[in-house]
Amino acid sequence: MNWLDVGTFLFMPADGARMVAGAHTRGAGAIILDLEDAIAPARKDAAREALAGSVATLARHGLTVVVRVNNDSDRLVDDLRAAALPGVHAVILPKVEDAALCLFADGVLAASERAGGLPQGGIGIIAVVEHPAAMRALDAIAAATPRVVALGFGSEDYASAIGTRATFEAMAMPAQAVAIAARGRGLAAFGVPGSVGIIDDEAAFKALARSAAAFGYTGILCIHPRQVAMADEALAPSAEEVAAARRIVEAFDRSVAEGTGAVAIDGKMIDIPVALQAKRVVALAERSAARRPAA
Q: Is the pLDDT of residue 161 over 80?
A: yes
pLDDT of residue 1: 57
- What residues form the annotated binding site for substrate? 68, 130
- What residues form the annotated binding site? 68, 130, 157
pTM: 0.87
Q: Is the pLDDT of residue 295 over 60?
A: no
pLDDT of residue 289: 66
Q: Which residues contact 18 (CB under 8 A, 6 or more apart)?
A: none
pLDDT of residue 206: 95
Mean pLDDT of 215-224: 94
Angle between helices 239-258 and 272-291 in degrees, nearest 10:
130
Across 110-135, b (16+ Cβ under 10 Å) vs e yields bebbeeeebeeeebbbbbbbbbeebe
The top-level CATH class assigned to 3-235 is: alpha beta
Q: Which of 205, 176, 199 is nearest to 189 (CA)?
A: 176
Distance CA 165, CA 161 (A): 10
pLDDT tens per residue across span 91-105: 999 999 999 999 999
pLDDT tens per residue across span 169-193: 999 999 999 999 999 999 999 999 9
pLDDT of residue 294: 43
pLDDT tens per residue across span 20-58: 999 999 999 999 999 999 999 999 999 999 999 999 999
- List for the chain the helix, strand, coil content (%; round to 5): 55, 15, 30
Q: Is the pLDDT of residue 121 over 50?
A: yes
- What residues form the annotated binding site for Mg(2+)? 130, 157
Q: What is the CA radius of gyration of the chain?
A: 20
Choose between 264 and 161: higher pLDDT: 161
Each domain of the chain, given as residue ranges in start order, spans 3-235, 239-291
